């Protein structure tokens, strides 16, 4: 079996890129945002922070916060016909 070349951020040049307007320091408000169970969120990666980043395939999907898990949140969403749960840092989640 062939070994996979590349890692977690492979083929994500456009997905994990900031626009020139967004470049610079990350927002502290976004980093420490509080979410409650039942809140609808969208997966929007913050490329400057690798901690708590979800798999790039789920970029742009929307889900529902289930609970807090340490400094991160468990988010339930649908991938095709399957229900999935992802643990993501709040800096990568956008409240809807």
Domains and CATH numbers, the chain: 36-95 (2.30.30.70)
Q: Which pTM does this prediction carry?
A: 0.88
Return d(Cα 87, Cα 81) in angstroms, integer: 20
Q: 91: left (phi > 0), else alpha (psi -120 to 50), else beta? A: alpha
Q: What's the chain's average pLDDT? A: 93
Give the whole-number percent of the chain exceeding pLDDT 70.
100
Q: Is the pLDDT of residue 6 over 90?
A: no
Average pLDDT, integer, range 46-60: 93
Q: What is the pLDDT of residue 54?
A: 94
pLDDT digits (tens, 9 = 90+) for 60-89: 999 999 999 999 999 999 999 999 999 999
Q: What is the pLDDT of residue 8?
A: 85
Beta-sheet strand order (sheet of 72-79)? 82-88, 72-79, 62-69, 40-43, 93-95
């Amino acid at each position: 079996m062939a070994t996979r070349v590349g890692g977690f951020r492979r083929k994500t040049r456009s997905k994990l890129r900031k626009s020139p307007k967004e470049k610079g320091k990350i927002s502290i408000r976004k980093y420490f945002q509080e979410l409650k169970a039942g809140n609808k969120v969208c997966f929007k990666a913050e490329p400057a922070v690798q901690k708590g980043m979800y798999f790039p395939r789920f970029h742009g999907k929307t889900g529902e916060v289930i609970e807090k898990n340490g400094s991160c949140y468990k988010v339930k969403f649908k991938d095709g016909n399957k229900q999935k749960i992802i643990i993501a840092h709040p800096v990568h989640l956008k409240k809807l």
